[in-house]
Amino acid sequence: MATEVLVPTLGESITEATLGEWLKQPGDAVAADEPIASLETDKVSVEVPSPVAGVMGQHAVAVGDTVQVGAMLATVDAGGSAPAKTDAPQPAVTESAAPAKDEPQGDTAAALSPSVRRAVLEHGVDPATIKGTGKDGRLTKEDVAAAASAKPQAPAASASANAPSDGAAAGRADADSAPARRKEERVKMTRLRQTIARRLKEAQNTAAMLTTFNDVDMTAVIEARAKYKDLFEKKHGVRLGFMGFFVKAATMALKDIPSVNASIEGDEIVYHDYADISVAVSAPNGLVVPVIRDAQDLSVAGIEKTIGDFGRRAKSGELKMDEMKGGTFTISNGGVFGSLMSTPIINPPQSAVLGLHRIEDRPVVVNGQVVVRPMMYLALSYDHRLIDGREAVTFLVALKNAIEDPTRILIDL
């Protein structure tokens, strides 16, 4: 008997999604609660499990289609069994009929999401040779990029061995002068990317955005991290990074400058006596922004544990909708990608976002002497309708003081 697989409830106020990929093909055996499809919503990817054990029936929708909550995705034949595999020998594939090595083929291609398939084509790698780090071992775009960067370059052939004869060179002259083949590919934007684009543009159109900069000497934090990172990881089971210091320092500065932690609703200003810090985390389909709830009450260790958990679950697509709702202030760390300086865009209805950047040695003057220190640029973008320049600068100075003297974080100064 065929059982219908329906689009599940996706969360408050979310009524539709886009089919991102099929994880099971018609005829595949499926177990009860085994994921058979992945849906992309405005914020995260959601896997749809099979309600029964059996055999995958026909797909009712195609990859890229928009589906409503409650709509039928496919059928599963309950209690059925997959077709037995034949042991008959397969015909040999001649060299002329063999598939091109730079394109994913057969079952491998069917298991790839559109974004991963596009990355495979762009980088010219064989997906069968790459170990996936996504959920259930599936490939992600990051896996493909890492494999491409690690792929050895073919050694250049010697000039004497490859030099053509004069006759051969003349015969190839016309071919060599022909223009190189150029390719284009049109790919529909994912629902997540469409949402990001819409919200960022809305932020620019609504807020009176301004960015204020400062820099911070990272010497003290780097020394503290080097001294205690092994003991920290042994005790707390998580690595000691820089984000724990910055999140904790930010919660202290937000308490001193409450307007940076506030938001505008109509003609009212909403002040929050708590700090729910949104942190930008890289996911296979783009950046997502889960929220560290009540960060002001967490230790540096508690913050690092929460961020580490977000990172792991973002990569495997297991973040929940509720974990990305709300937030009173955002921290985005472009430094992990090598950014020197940027002007981040606020995440409405929040009124401010802190941008962190890469650490690099620069000459600075300390006590009248020019010394080399590890410096980082800080950028605070804010809604000038609510936050004045004086408040923005005061916030950055308070943050700078706490990072340059981490003892302030310990004694809440």
- DSSP track, 389-408: HHHHHHHHHHHHHHHHSTHH
Phi-psi region of 178 (alpha: psi -120 to 50; beta: other; left: phi over 0): beta
260 CB contacts (<8 Å, ≥6 apart)? 253, 254, 329, 351, 352, 380, 382, 387, 391, 392, 395
Q: Are 372 and 363 in contact (CB under 8 A)?
A: yes
CA 329, 332, 333, 339 dihedral sign is negative
Q: Which helix (H) or strand (E) holds 373?
A: strand 369-383
89 CB contacts (<8 Å, ≥6 apart)? none
Residue 293 tokens, joined: 């709830």
Question: 364: how many CB neighbours lie within 10 A of its CB?
Answer: 13
Residue 203 tokens, joined: 């932020």
Check residue 7 and report its DSSP letter. Answer: P
Phi-psi region of 403 (alpha: psi -120 to 50; beta: other; left: phi over 0): alpha
What CA–CA distances, in Å, run from 159 to 107, 156, 166, 173, 277? 41, 9, 14, 18, 60
Q: Provide Rg for the chain, Cα atoms.
A: 27
Residue 346 tokens, joined: 């606020």
To 5 degrees, how large is the angle CA 154–CA 158–CA 160? 155
DSSP E strand boundaries for 319-359: 329-333, 352-356
What CA–CA distances, in Å, run from 52 to 58, 82, 355? 15, 14, 47
Query: What residues are annotated to the active site?
Result: 384, 388
